[in-house]
Amino acid sequence: MRSNGVRGVLPNPKHAQISRNLIADLKRGKFAPGELLPTEAILQKRFNCSRHTIRVALRTLYERGLVISKQGKGTIVQKLPKQPLYQSTFSTLQSLVQYAKTTSRTVLTTNLVLLNESLSHWLNCPQGYKWWKIRTKRQQKSDGTVVASSTIYVPRYFESAVSKLTKSALPLFSIMQKEYLHEIARVEQTFSVAYATEEEASDLNVKQGTAVMAIERRFIDERGGLIEVARSAHQPEYFEYHMTLNQITDPDNC
């Protein structure tokens, strides 16, 4: 690096500082939705850096849906994403952690189970292996409403992360990342309408067979390996899932 200004050592790239700065401006309402952000040339002077660095920073804002750049026109400020109520808003892994902060989790049971045929198929792992099966419920911190009843499966290998679950407020995948340096590369989510099992109905205080929103999440590491599967049943009426699709650069076909 030519120079990192004052700091010089810590991994705090200039473009990240700039994007944080701009995001803070947007949140303060310094730039209104629909208006144009200062031009790249102006930002370049303001932050005393190259145009390249500005563009990297703007790319971050773009990926979050905060701005859209148009050639010949400028960079247009978008409305900030909705705030959650009884509703979660995530399209990135980070926001999943954020969601976890507004609710509290109770661990109900923790068992080591032997994979039978149907489980081994679902978890994409040969029969005979043992996985941890964890049941939890999640309540809104504000009023104690139970919003979700979850069943989580993780390979036996992650025992020490499982044991830390009750003492931590973080989601399991987040603990696993810290504990084993296993990077979660992505999460595949599937939403469907399902009918509450006996256990789920009891957790959610509804009748068995009530329609619920079921969310299945499969956590996948860098090498494509499956390291956690979670199924949660969510209270209907009180639960909505909100997300934003952004216009993404598309190389024509594909």
Considering only residues 54, 60, 119, 172, which one is a binding residue for a copy of itself as defined by CB under 8 A? 60
When CB distances are held under 5 to 8 angstroms depending on the partner's kind, the choice from DNA, a copy of itself, none that residue 252 binds is a copy of itself
Binding of a copy of itself at residue 7 (CB under 8 A)? no
Kindly state whether residue 167 participates in binding a copy of itself, applying the rule CB under 8 A.
Answer: no
- In one letter, which amino acid is 190? T
What string marks each residue from 64 to 103 as x (binds DNA by CB under 7 A) or -? -----xxxxxxx----------------------------
Gap between the Cα atoms of 57 and 67, Å rounded: 11
Residue type, 194: A
Among 2, 28, 70, 167, binds a copy of itself (CB under 8 A): 70
**Distance, CA of 190 to CA of 217 (rounded, Å):** 7
111 interacts with, out of DNA, a copy of itself, none, CB within 5 to 8 A per kind = none
Nearest to 242 by CA among 102, 83, 103, 97: 83
Identity of the residue, 128 or 181, whose beta carbon is nearer to a copy of itself in the bound complex = 181
Tell me: does residue 14 bind DNA (CB under 7 A): yes
Q: Is 1 in the site for DNA (CB under 7 A)?
A: yes
The answer to whether residues 172 and 154 touch, using CB atoms and an 8 Å cutoff, is: yes
Q: Which of 3, 83, 118, 253 binds a copy of itself (CB under 8 A)?
A: 253
Q: Which helix (H) or strand (E) holds 47?
A: helix 40-47
Q: Given candidates 31, 90, 131, 173, which one binds a copy of itself under the rule CB under 8 A? A: 90
Phi and psi, residue 238, nearest 5°:
-95, -10
Q: Give residues with Cβ within 8 angstroms of 72, minimum separation 6.
A: none
Total residues at interface with DNA (CB under 7 A): 29
CB 149 within 8 A of CB 199: yes
Please tell me the distance from the alpha carbon of residue 117 to that of residue 36, in angstroms, as a whole number.
Answer: 57
Q: Is 181 left (phi over 0), alpha (psi -120 to 50) or beta?
A: left
Taking a C-beta distance cutoff of 8 angstroms, is the pair 66, 58 a contact? no
Contact pick of 55, 133, 135, 164 for DNA (by CB under 7 A): 55
The reply to whether 208 sits near a copy of itself by the rule CB under 8 A is no
Nearer to DNA, 68 or 125 (CB): 68
Q: Which residues bind DNA (CB under 7 A)?
A: 1-2, 4, 9, 11, 13-16, 36-37, 39-41, 48-53, 55-56, 69-75
